[in-house]
Structures are given as structure tokens and as C-alpha cells.
Amino acid sequence: MPTVTTADGVEIFYKDWGSGRPIMFHHGWPLSSDDWDAQLMFFLQEGYRVVAHDRRGHGRSTQTSDGHDMDHYAADAAAVVEHLDLRDVIHVGHSTGGGEVARYVARHGGDRVAMAVLIGAVPPLMLKTDANPAGTPIEVFDGFRDGTANRRSPFFLDVASGPFYGYNRPGAEPSQGVILNWWRQGMMGGAAAHYDGIAAFSETDFTEDLRAITVPTLVMHGDDDQVVPIAASAEITITLLPHGTLKIYPGYPHGMATTHADVINADLLEFIRATG
């Protein structure tokens, strides 16, 4: 398997398909690069070089006990970029991966980055605090920790069959294939990495990262996102980005890149082509 070894000895698995301008995809918690299948195949067929990696502790990367925080996530992404010598890159991140993109672009990107896309992304801060009253209460994340530590397999099925894809909404038509694929990806990773990753995605403040991103950035968010509510994320993020564009999808869930891949892919392609 293709891997790159980080400075602290962690092997990061990556996919690198095709040629042309590179697009790098950053997955959400607790998934893997496989979550981007619909995007990887679409953009590969459009003539792009597509790259996606498994975050440390996730998928096929090393199940290390250390470094499950945004600083390490961003540094690991940088290791993949440097190993492949990617330039003029479009970085696309979903959920936790959106936080990873924000921190990577702000702290490591330099002149290698052309543009960024944040889909259902966690910035600027998920956790409810006095300064962030629209955030999600800590008790919700404590529930995620309990489920991950003590009943990970059924808990992951509950997340995938419920709020992640909006399958708990009236009239929804759940796809067992989509649910089981989410569960499969999650169970490939390490419970310790997933447990620590909850604090990473929920308690990291990306405010200054967003302010430091100077490249054109597309923010895509469903207004029925039950995992990363739009009022505490995209609607604030867009006010912090120097060159941001917000696109809201009425009724779309957190996992809209899977449930509505045709729409999301087309809009991504339009943004890339229009931005240059």
C-alpha cells in the first residue's frame, strides 16, 4: 500500500490516482479516504489528479496512540503533499476534514494551495461556550465518547442510520449500503484514535486559521445538518474568511457529499473551473 511516514513515525495511507491538476480530499470522523469514492471517481473522469489519505488512526493508517489532534492532522496532510510534491492544489474537506483543511492551509499550505472547499465543516468551533452560545453542548460530545469507548459497533450503526445522512427524517429512504459502508470505514480505524478525535473536532477553535486563509474558499453546507449545525459553523465561517463563498443546500444532511453526490460534484467542478 502507498504510505508516507511522518516525522513521529506514523504511516499515513494515501490514494493517488490520475494526472492533471491535483485535488486533495480530507475525510470526516471516523471514516477514511473511501468516503470520497463518488468524488474521486467523478474528478478522475474529469481529468484531475485525485489524492486522498486516511487520517492517523483511521482506515489503513497506523493505529497510533498519539497525536490525535488538529496540529498533527494538518502536519500529516502536509507530509502527504510534500511526499507527492503537490502544487496548485485544491483542498476539499468534509466535517473534521474541513477543520484539517483550515489548519493545513493556514499553517502549512504556503504557495502550494490554489483554493479550498469546506463541506459540512466543523470550523470555527463546534463546542458551546460563553463566547460561542450557538455551539453544541459538551454533553453531546460526551455521549459520542461513551458510545465510541463502550459500544462502538452499534453506536456507529446508529449514527449512520440516523442523523449523519438524515435517515431519521420523515420520508427518508435509508440506504443499507451507505449505512454499512460508513460502519465498515469506522470499524477499520482504532477506537483510541476515534475517542481522542472527538475532542479534536469539537473543541478546536479555527477562528484564526480561517482569518489566515487567503485563497478562494467555497463553504458548502446543508441547512438540515444535524451533526454540524449550520448556524454555529458555515454561517460564522463565511464572516471570517477573506475570500469566501457560501452555498447553502436546503434540506441536505451532514453526509450530503454521499447522498447528493451528483449535485455536490457538479457544484465543486463549477467552482474550480470558475475560480481558475
Indicate which residues carry an active-site annotation: 95, 225, 254
Kindly state the cell numbers that stand for 35: 468516503
Q: How many CB atoms lie within 10 A of CB 123?
A: 29
Instruction: Find cell 454555529 and name the residue.
Output: 232
Contact 110, 88 (CB under 8 A): no
Query: Alpha helix (H) ranges present in the chain?
Result: 37-45, 70-84, 96-104, 138-150, 152-161, 176-188, 191-203, 207-212, 234-240, 256-259, 261-275
DSSP state of 127: B
Kindly state the cell numbers that stand for 77: 496532510
Q: How many CB atoms lie within 10 A of CB 179?
A: 20
CA distance 179 to 168: 12
CA distance 272 to 116: 9
Instruction: Using alpha carbons, select from 22, 14, 40 the residue that is nearest to residue 86.
Output: 22
Helix (H, G, I), strand (E, B) or coil at 136: strand
Kindly state the cell numbers that stand for 78: 502536509
Residue 235, Cα to own-chain centre: how many angstroms?
17
DSSP state of 248: E
